[in-house]
Amino acid sequence: MKTQVVIIGAGPAGLLLGHLLRAEGIACIIIERATPEYILGRIRAGVLERTTTDLLHRLGIDARLNAEGMLEDGFALADGERLIRIDTLGLTGKHVTVYGQTEVTRDLMDAAPERGLEIIYEAANVALHDIETDAPYVSFEKDGTTHRVEGGFIAGCDGYHGPSRQAIPKNVGREFERVYPFGWLGILADVPPCHHELIYANHERGFALASMRSKTRSRYYIDVPLTEKIEDWSDDRLWDELSVRLGPEAAANITRGPAIEKSIAPLRSYVFEPMRHGNLFLAGDAAHIVPPTGAKGLNLAASDVTYLSDAMKGYFKRNDRNGVAGYSQKALARVWKAERFSWSLTKLMHRFPQDGPFERRMQVAELDYIASSEAAQTAIAENYVGLPI
């Protein structure tokens, strides 16, 4: 098979890129190792920046987003006694939208056939070849047959564990990583949210987050040591802990219910440089991971594919190579700013095992400053709703 762009990975990054390219008449094929059902079974983020929703509106893949997405005017930071509201709409003029990543993925998948976006699922042993040449290709196995797809460019949108980043020589790439000493224990339940906006809580017993997926489905988290096991956390125990950590105001409005999904996710900050080598381009989790504090993961992937689709459009439509040449530098500039925000919010709202009384006083002072400073709240709001593309 031959095409102009081979995309590896049918998560949100790969699907968004595929739709953006097809909208410009650029041929592409998406290769995915998993089944559609497996991809849609993954529970992920649910807060969309304006950057991401603008892409969906631009593509016209927004019917359910418009009908079901919840516009949020702000969010709160809790310190055990009070809620410090960050008025994102008032401070920046922008909303964020609560709409699950699973739903975004479903919408992009459903729109693919009518828009001529070819997706090959259940592709085994995906491998990249000749990425440093003008004739790169991807091989994979399906139904007992080895296939080969040739394209001018390869876009690695296959996540942290995919083969794309591994195809870049060790002496070319550089990794930056911070592994956090805790994970997030999350519960998804069909109950109304305890608050109409998200709450990030810093309590003496640890971090908690009250979030939602809709007016009838809630997502809650607490941080736990990495040694914890999910089977040791009954639903009742988790609801009890959430009620303590979120504080009395939120706890009074918590509706309990059985878990639809419950899991523990480790936290890390990770960046791989460069995001381009030869004719291979990385986007999304293939190039960077952020802790979920601040909800930047999916949104950062959306900004990557915005830059990448614009660069490829310039190349194929106008023979302009500048966008392709500058993709990595341009994307990384925004990546590092998002990493900084996620890292700083994680440091502010979590109790780290190695920290002592001094670090705790610094958290208290920072929260006090945020509570009294419109400038500090504006800086947080600007990052939360998404920095300009």
* Whether pLDDT at 122 is above 80: yes
Predicted model pTM: 0.94
HSE (side-chain half, CA atoms, 13 Å) at 94: 20
Q: What is the pLDDT of residue 44?
A: 73
Count CA atoms closer than 13 A to 377's CA, side-chain side: 19
Q: Tell me: the pLDDT tens digits for 123-146?
A: 999 999 999 999 999 999 999 999
Compute the mean pLDDT over every residue in the chain, rounded to the nearest whole number.
Answer: 95
pLDDT tens digit sequence for 230-272: 999 999 999 999 999 999 889 999 999 999 999 999 999 999 9
281, two tokens: 């381009």
| DSSP for 51-101, written as a single string | HHHHHHHHHT--HHHHHH-EEE--EEEE-SS-EEEE-HHHHHS--EEE--H
Give 210's contacts (C-beta < 8 A, 6+ positions apart). 193, 194, 195, 198, 199, 201, 218, 220, 242, 246, 250, 254
What confidence score (pLDDT) does residue 82 get? Answer: 83
- The tokens describing 12, both together, are 């949100």
Please write the tens of the pLDDT for every residue from 80-102: 778 899 999 999 999 999 998 99
The per-residue pLDDT for range 178-222, each reduced to its tens digit, is 999 999 999 999 999 999 999 999 999 999 999 998 899 999 999
Contacts of 299 (CB under 8 A, 6+ apart): 47, 48, 49, 51, 52, 338, 386
Query: Taking residues 68-74, what's their average pLDDT?
Result: 95
Give me 21's structure tokens.
Answer: 């390219």
- Rounded to the nearest 10 degrees, how much is the dihedral formed by the CA atoms of 37, 49, 272, 10? 20
Q: Which residues lie across from 4 on neighbouring strands?
A: none
Q: Averaged over 35-58, what is the pLDDT? A: 90
Mean local confidence (pLDDT), 23-33: 97
pLDDT of residue 249: 87
CB-based contact 270:234 (threshold 8 Å): no
> pLDDT tier at 280 (50, 70, 90 boundaries)?
very high
pLDDT the model gives residue 81: 75
Q: What is the pLDDT confidence band of residue 45, given thresholds at 50, 70 and 90?
A: confident
Provide the pLDDT confidence category of residue 52 given band limits of 50, 70 and 90: very high
Question: What average pLDDT does this structure show over 18-33?
Answer: 97
State pLDDT tens for residues 354-378. Answer: 999 999 999 999 999 999 999 999 9
pLDDT (0 to 100) of residue 357: 95
- Neighbouring-strand partners of residue 200: 77, 209
